[in-house]
Amino acid sequence: MAWEIKGWICGGYVAARGDGEMVFIYRRPDWGTGMSGVRAFYELRSRGSIVGRITAENSWRPQVKAEWLAETDRPLNEADLIEIAGALKF
């Protein structure tokens, strides 16, 4: 299913899927997190829990890295994370 980034809402973005599932995407500062060399750092939250992290290196051609952090008993999976990362603009 295709994810659609709805826009800026309360300090982040919301991604919505056709079946009503939503993921909130928050941009986080790289300082204090051990990720001082990254250009973009996003946390993905679903139903109050962190489900993933998307980072992009600080270079002219950023390499995007998506990490799945949630358990497997969720209506989301790694493929959803990849689709959301592809929909974000870096």
pTM attached to this predicted model: 0.77
Indicate the length of the chain as a whole number.
90
pLDDT tens-place string over residues 42-77: 889 988 888 998 888 766 666 888 888 887 677 888
Q: Looking at beta carbons, which pairs linking 83-88 to residues 24 or more positions away fall under 8 Å?
A: 83/2, 83/3, 84/3, 84/5, 84/15, 84/23, 84/25, 84/44, 84/52, 84/54, 85/54, 87/3, 87/4, 87/5, 87/15, 88/5, 88/13, 88/25, 88/42, 88/54
Q: 26 pLDDT exceeds 70?
A: yes
Q: Which of 11, 66, 10 is nearest to 40 (CA)?
A: 66
Mean pLDDT across the chain: 80
Q: Which of 19, 85, 74 is nearest to 47 (CA)?
A: 74
